[in-house]
């Protein structure tokens, strides 16, 4: 009769125990951070060159839960200074959705400030992603037509290019986890 060590070499037993530990503890590690869901929210901005409509889409990446709520608001008729508008914005055009994975807003008016909020809710926690951004189009109809973007100082953690050629759209913006403070 062979010894048990010959049938199950310690190296293989060690690897099997390590894999088992990863399988058991990975869900715990993932749910202990600030984003307990295996998902993210992103804003996609798209426009065709020479077109007069800019499309904004909010949707999930790798969603494991449904949205509890998605909200988008638009503010127009403000001065574009190359940075986020510092004055008060008149929010209009609220678009709200529940249990949806995509919401579209179409606008011709530019510049436009956009507030986006996506809330996920699970059995024991809620996570909200939010962004406050402004967009304008320059060189309308020309080959050098660009989308200029600015992010509000109240939205930390958003990384966007300041200028994108329209021919290089769509651009994807990951929305950060909103951790507190007042929403606009």
Residues 24 and 69 in one domain: no
> What 3-state class would DSSP assign to 21?
helix
Residues 50 and 25 in one domain: no
Distance CA 177, CA 130 (A): 7
> Does residue 180 lie in a domain region?
no
> What 3-state class would DSSP assign to 7?
helix
Q: What is residue 32's predicted lDDT score, i.e. its pLDDT?
A: 42
> Does residue 4 lie in a domain region?
yes
Dihedral angle of Cα 136, 141, 143, 149, to the nearest 10 degrees? 10
Residues 11 and 44 in one domain: no
Q: What is the pLDDT along the chain (184 residues), one digit of tens a residue?
A: 556 666 667 777 777 777 777 776 665 444 444 445 556 788 999 988 777 788 888 877 766 667 778 888 888 877 777 677 777 788 876 777 766 666 666 666 678 888 888 888 776 778 888 888 988 888 777 778 888 888 887 787 888 888 999 889 999 999 888 865 555 5
Residues 17 and 71 in one domain: no
Give the pair of three-digit tokens for residue 110: 């530019």
> Does residue 167 lie in a domain region?
yes
> Does residue 28 lie in a domain region?
yes
How far is residue 172 CA from its own chain's centroid? 8
Site of tokens 């959705």: 97
pTM for this predicted structure: 0.71
> Does residue 50 lie in a domain region?
yes
Residues 15 and 106 in one domain: no
Residues 63 and 147 in one domain: yes
What is the domain-level CATH number for residue 76? 2.60.40
> Does residue 184 lie in a domain region?
no
- Domain holding 13, by residue range, is 1-32
Residues 84 and 165 in one domain: yes
Contact predicate 133/47, CB 8 Å: no
> Does residue 183 lie in a domain region?
no
Residue 168 contacts by C-beta under 8 Å, 6 or more apart in sequence? none
Residues 22 and 98 in one domain: no
Q: What is residue 54's predicted lDDT score, i.e. its pLDDT?
A: 85
Residues 98 and 134 in one domain: yes
Q: How many domains does the chain have?
A: 2
């Amino acid at each position: 009769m062979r010894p048990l060590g010959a049938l199950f070499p310690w190296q293989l037993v060690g690897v099997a125990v390590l894999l088992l530990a990863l399988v058991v503890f990975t869900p715990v590690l993932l749910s202990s951070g600030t984003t307990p869901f295996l998902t993210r929210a992103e804003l996609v901005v798209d426009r065709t060159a020479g077109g007069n409509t800019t499309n904004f889409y909010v949707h999930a990446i790798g969603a494991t839960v449904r949205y509890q709520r998605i909200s988008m608001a638009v503010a127009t008729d403000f001065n574009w200074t190359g940075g986020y508008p510092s004055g008060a914005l008149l929010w209009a055009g609220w678009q709200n959705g529940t249990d949806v994975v995509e919401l579209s807003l179409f606008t011709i008016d530019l510049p436009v400030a956009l507030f986006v909020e996506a809330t996920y809710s699970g059995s024991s926690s809620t996570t909200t992603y939010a962004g406050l951004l402004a967009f304008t189009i320059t060189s309308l109809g020309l080959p050098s037509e660009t989308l200029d973007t600015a992010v509000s100082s109240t939205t930390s953690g958003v990384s966007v290019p300041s200028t994108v050629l329209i021919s290089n759209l769509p651009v994807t913006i990951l929305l950060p986890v909103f951790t507190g403070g007042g929403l606009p």
